């Protein structure tokens, strides 16, 4: 294992490095390099790449484009409009009323969607986005209806035509207990989700994923890789909140530890341009819960460089995934907003939830914060008679 000091945005250097070492498979994690064409360049360099082309990655990189695709394909999602002028945006908001959702169309590290309880909050969100707080991502703004229901995340491996779901999960985007406060990149997740049965997955495949892939192919942007469907399960059925073009963080840390079948085989086939293998992914019967440990101030401004202490002995079944950490003088210091993710795998949801929380509590650095209620909806479901 080797960590190479190449910026993730330098797609020329990354592709050159991979080609020079005859890498067998490149798996692209972040959305920005995908949107910049890293998969395209790797493929041209002879390196099999698991991840969509830049054209297909627009399904995440441009919420405006995603809304057009869904409208053309008849995919259920929130009613919306896209704007480039602040006054027109505010006039639409005044007409629609609140609650309402304001989204930066471009990539905003998972923080570009603001759920606004009042019209005034929505105006402020528009001012922030179009005033430059979100950079180029806020040049276009999508305003959409507020959907009520419960969120669900489902990853789909796809060769552009066939697709197969991985284990459904549920993440927690808000910073505060009980899903309060501003959105983040994700403060925790768990899998599986009690209400996500096969009938629901069949409906999502039939009404959402299949039509979306067909429409992308019609636009000469076939999607090969991992399509992440962020869903709202409403009283009228599943509706799309967003699409992502890669594995989600922190859902991946909860889903993959439960996977018993090979992930390499389907990824390799997709990267090499072959058909998706016919076998259905297999998962263990247990549960996984992931708790993110973040820096004080996140998702706003935060300090870096705080020493991190991770105990040598953590509860059994725990894996600590590093994100915003950096090695300095033989130790670790914080270097990002979301610092670590603590995943616990256990036979039951309750055991995994307790173990993940205890693991997060055991990790120490100045100003650390984490949610103690990851999986609270599932806990309430399981507590019902």
Q: What is the domain-level CATH number for residue 323? A: 3.90.600.10
Is 34 found in the same domain as 119? no
Predicted TM-score (pTM) of this structure: 0.95
- What Cα–Cα distance (Å) separates residue 91 from each residue in 103, 144, 260? 16, 14, 52
Contact assessment for residue 289 and residue 190, using Cβ atoms and an 8 Å cutoff: yes
Is 378 found in the same domain as 291? yes
Q: What is the pLDDT of residue 109?
A: 81
> Is 166 among the domain residues?
no
Kindly indicate the confidence band of residue 197, based on its pLDDT and cuts at 50, 70 and 90: very high
Last residue of a domain, one of 145, 166, 187: 145
Range(s) of the domain holding residue 15? 11-54
Is 90 found in the same domain as 42? no
How many structural domains are present in the chain? 3
Is 375 found in the same domain as 303? yes
HSE-CB of 4 using CA atoms within 13 angstroms:
12
Is 44 found in the same domain as 89? no
Q: What is the pLDDT of residue 72?
A: 98
- Tokens 């020493």 belong to which residue? 307
State the average pLDDT over residues 283-312. 97
State the average pLDDT over residues 246-260. 97
Is 49 found in the same domain as 92? no
Q: What is the pLDDT of residue 287?
A: 98
171 pLDDT exceeds 90?
yes
Buried b (16+ CB within 10 A) or exposed e, 227-266: bbbbbbbeeeebbbbbbbbbbbbbbbbbbbbbeeeeeeeb
Of 313 and 10, more confident:
10
**By percentage, how much of the chain surpasses pLDDT 90?**
94
Is 44 found in the same domain as 97? no
> Is 374 among the domain residues?
yes
> Is 42 among the domain residues?
yes
Peptide bond into 250 cis (omega under 30): yes
> Is 153 among the domain residues?
no
2 pLDDT exceeds 90?
no
Closest Cα partner for 50 from 269, 222, 217?
A: 269
Q: What is the pLDDT of residue 3?
A: 82
- What CATH number is associated with residue 91? 3.30.1490.20
- What CATH number is associated with residue 17? 3.40.50.20
| Three-class secondary structure of residue 191 per DSSP | strand
Is 363 found in the same domain as 314? yes
Contact assessment for residue 57 and residue 244, using Cβ atoms and an 8 Å cutoff: no
> Is 242 among the domain residues?
no
Is 85 found in the same domain as 39? no
> Is 373 among the domain residues?
yes
Is 105 found in the same domain as 25? no
Q: What is the pLDDT of residue 246?
A: 97
> Is 103 among the domain residues?
yes
> Is 164 among the domain residues?
no
State the average pLDDT over residues 17-37. 96
CA–CA dist 334, 304 (Å, integer): 5
Is 36 found in the same domain as 95? no
Contact assessment for residue 252 and residue 185, using Cβ atoms and an 8 Å cutoff: no
């Amino acid at each position: 294992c080797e960590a190479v000091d190449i910026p993730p945005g330098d797609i020329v250097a990354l592709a050159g490095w991979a080609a020079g070492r005859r890498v067998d498979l490149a798996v692209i994690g972040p959305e920005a390099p995908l949107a910049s064409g890293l998969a395209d360049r790797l493929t041209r360099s002879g390196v099999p790449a698991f991840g969509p082309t830049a054209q297909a990655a627009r399904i995440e990189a441009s919420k405006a484009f995603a809304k057009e695709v869904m409208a053309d394909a008849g995919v259920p999602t929130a009613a919306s409009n896209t704007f480039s002028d602040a006054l027109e945006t505010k006039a639409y908001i005044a007409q629609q009323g609140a609650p309402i959702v304001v989204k930066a169309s471009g990539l905003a590290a998972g923080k570009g969607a603001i759920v606004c309880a009042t019209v005034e909050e929505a105006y402020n969100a528009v001012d922030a986005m179009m005033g430059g707080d979100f950079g180029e991502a806020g040049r276009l703004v999508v305003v959409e209806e507020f959907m009520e229901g419960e969120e669900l995340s489902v990853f789909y491996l796809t060769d552009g035509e066939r697709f197969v779901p991985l284990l459904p999960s549920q993440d927690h985007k808000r910073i505060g207990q009980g899903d309060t406060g501003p959105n983040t990149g994700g403060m925790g997740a768990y899998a599986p989700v009690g209400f996500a049965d096969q009938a629901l997955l069949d409906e999502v495949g039939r009404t959402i994923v299949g039509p979306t892939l067909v429409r992308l192919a019609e636009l000469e942007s076939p999607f090969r890789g991992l399509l992440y469907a962020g869903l709202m399960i409403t009283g009228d059925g599943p509706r799309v909140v967003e699409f992502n073009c890669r594995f989600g963080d922190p859902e991946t840390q909860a889903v993959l530890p439960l996977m018993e079948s090979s992930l390499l085989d389907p990824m390799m086939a997709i990267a090499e341009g072959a058909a998706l293998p016919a076998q259905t992914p297999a998962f263990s019967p247990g549960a996984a819960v992931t708790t993110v440990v973040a820096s004080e101030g996140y998702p706003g401004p935060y300090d870096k460089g705080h020493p991190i202490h991770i105990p040598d002995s953590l509860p059994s079944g725990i894996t600590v995934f590093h994100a915003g950490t950096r090695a300095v003088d033989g130790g670790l210091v914080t270097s990002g907003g979301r610092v670590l993710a603590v995943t616990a795998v256990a036979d039951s949801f309750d055991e995994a939830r307790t173990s993940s929380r205890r693991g997060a509590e055991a990790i120490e650095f100045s100003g650390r914060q984490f949610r103690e209620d990851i999986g609270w909806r599932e806990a309430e479901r399981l507590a019902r008679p």
